[in-house]
């Protein structure tokens, strides 16, 4: 007969294997039998947190205060704002025009959470409300076990319930209980203030925490505040101060590279990404961004080396082979071009990815002068995704090249569809 595992150990095993829902369910069963089992309480809270946890350092969603600041802000000087980036410093010819956002910022070679989530466009979208109510447990002692319970409770309220007001109240009481000597609680208060759009108050908390204990995450949080206040130069100086305390820290180097990238200073971006690779040559973001920069700097063969590194790292997806295919084409390695695109099509997980592959194949067809093949590729892309703005735009251009001016109705419909697609994706410009 097999031996049954202790329920708490089994729940912990589920947690270690990232089966968070199973862990939470088992903890709930234990709490039904023993409601005051503190180990089960903490483990359940951690499992629920991990199921919805998002790294707050990377996500940058603008709140109400940020929207008001942007609305009332004056036009800053070039090179001192993320809203008005400087001119491109790369220069030289390129195999394809680098796509940019409506703000003039080049599209990065790496999809970050802040880029993926986007910013709210209305006040209603900026307001966040808690999903459900929470049940607090009685506070009976001031031991180390009590502090662990309070920390777990705070993270549960903040991350899972998204009840920022209650979370900041709990953090304020805990800070007062620790006689304002616990830097961790000050950081949590700063996080709450930031999510509420109270950037100046968040800045005070993070600065106070840094005076007590210099931590990398605190530097990152404080820099995030300055970026939200559109003070990239201050954020850069802060990152460099952090590097003086933590030399070679790749998260700080990545932070500097991201700011330079949003300021359209591509040369400095590449410099710091190379510093990141000196510390960790498998860092995905730096590798992808350097590869993208080499491609748009008319060096597709160099970009190919960086994208092939992902294959050595075990990455195997449609986006990678799509990039490999277009790099092989511009590097005149035609024997690998179609093979890469075939792999990209076979690995595509949804219709949008299939449409993107056909879109790039259409560009390849244009490059070899076969406009009929390009037209078919773009049409196949629209069959899979009828909201692909760039494909609509390129189809319209092909019609103009063919001299089908008499079909202005079809041409107008193509541009109308492209405008509708751009309305769905306002931060991306078609090429």
Where residue 239 falls among pLDDT bands split at 50, 70, 90?
A: very high
Alpha carbon distance 145, 201 (integer Å): 30
With 90 as the cut, is the pLDDT of residue 129 above it? no
Q: Do the Cβ atoms of 374 and 365 come closer than 8 Å?
A: yes
Lowest mean pLDDT among 17-26, 98-107, 134-143, 393-402: 134-143
Alpha carbon distance 200, 225 (integer Å): 8
With 60 as the cut, is the pLDDT of residue 124 above it? no
Alpha carbon distance 184, 57 (integer Å): 15
Q: Do the Cβ atoms of 168 and 194 come closer than 8 Å?
A: no
Q: Which two tokens stand for residue 377?
A: 């590729």
pLDDT of residue 126: 36
Of 99, 103, 106, 130, nearest to 119 by C-alpha is 103
Alpha carbon distance 285, 273 (integer Å): 8
Burial class for 21, CB neighbours closer than 10 Å (0-12, 13-18, 19+): exposed
pLDDT of residue 128: 40
Alpha carbon distance 264, 329 (integer Å): 27
Lowest mean pLDDT among 159-163, 232-236, 258-262: 159-163
Lowest mean pLDDT among 214-223, 272-281, 412-421: 412-421
Average pLDDT over residues 65-91: 57
Average pLDDT over residues 245-273: 93
First-to-final CA distance of the chain: 67
Supply φ then ψ for residue 128, to 5 degrees.
-115, 140
Helix (H, G, I), strand (E, B) or coil at 106: strand
Q: Tell me: the pLDDT tens digits for 136-181?
A: 333 333 344 555 678 888 888 888 888 899 999 999 999 998 899 9
Average pLDDT over residues 397-416: 63
With 50 as the cut, is the pLDDT of residue 131 above it? no
pLDDT of residue 64: 46
Q: Tell me: the pLDDT tens digits for 270-303?
A: 999 999 999 999 899 999 999 999 999 999 999 9
Give every CB contact of residue 188 below 8 A, 6+ residues apart in sequence: 154, 158, 167, 171
Lowest mean pLDDT among 29-38, 76-85, 157-166: 76-85
With 80 as the cut, is the pLDDT of residue 367 above it? yes
């Amino acid at each position: 007969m097999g031996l049954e595992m202790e329920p708490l150990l089994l729940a912990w095993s589920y947690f270690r294997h990232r089966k968070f829902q199973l862990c939470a369910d088992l903890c709930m069963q234990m709490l039904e039998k023993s409601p005051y089992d503190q180990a089960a309480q903490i483990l359940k809270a951690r499992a629920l947190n991990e199921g919805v946890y998002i790294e707050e350092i990377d996500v940058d969603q603008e709140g109400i205060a940020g929207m008001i600041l942007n609305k009332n802000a004056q036009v800053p000087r070039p090179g001192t704002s993320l809203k008005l980036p400087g001119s491109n410093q790369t220069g030289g010819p390129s195999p394809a025009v680098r796509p940019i956002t409506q703000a003039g910022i080049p599209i990065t070679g790496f999809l970050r959470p802040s880029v993926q989530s986007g910013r709210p466009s209305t006040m209603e979208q900026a307001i966040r409300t808690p999903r459900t109510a929470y049940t607090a447990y009685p506070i009976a002692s001031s031991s180390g076990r009590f502090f662990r319970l309070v920390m777990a409770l705070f993270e549960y309220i903040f991350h899972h319930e998204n009840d920022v007001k209650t979370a900041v109240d709990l953090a304020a009481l805990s800070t007062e209980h620790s006689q304002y000597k616990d830097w961790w609680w000050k950081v949590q208060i700063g996080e709450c203030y930031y999510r509420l759009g109270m950037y100046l108050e968040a800045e005070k908390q993070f600065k106070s925490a840094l005076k007590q204990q210099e931590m990398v995450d605190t530097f990152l949080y404080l820099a995030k505040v300055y970026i939200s206040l559109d003070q990239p130069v201050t954020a850069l100086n802060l990152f460099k101060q952090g590097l003086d305390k933590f030399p070679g820290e790749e998260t700080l180097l990545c932070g500097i590279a991201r700011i330079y990238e949003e300021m359209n200073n591509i040369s400095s971006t590449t410099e710091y990404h190379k510093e990141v690779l000196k510390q960790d040559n498998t860092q995905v973001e730096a590798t992808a961004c350097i590869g993208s920069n080499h491609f748009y700097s008319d060096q597709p063969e160099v970009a190919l080396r960086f994208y092939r590194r992902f294959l050595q790292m075990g990455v195997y997806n449609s986006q990678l082979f799509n990039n490999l295919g277009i790099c092989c084409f511009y590097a005149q390695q035609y024997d690998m071009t179609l093979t890469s695109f075939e792999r990209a099509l076979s690995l595509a997980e949804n219709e949008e990815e299939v449409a993107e592959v056909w879109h790039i194949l259409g560009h390849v067809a244009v490059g070899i002068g076969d406009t009929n093949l390009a037209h078919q590729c773009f049409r196949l892309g629209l069959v899979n995704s009828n909201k692909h703005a760039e494909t609509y735009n390129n189809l319209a251009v092909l019609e103009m090249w063919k001299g089908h001016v008499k079909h202005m109705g079809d041409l107008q419909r193509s541009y109308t569809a492209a405008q509708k697609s751009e309305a769905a994706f306002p931060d991306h410009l078609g090429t």
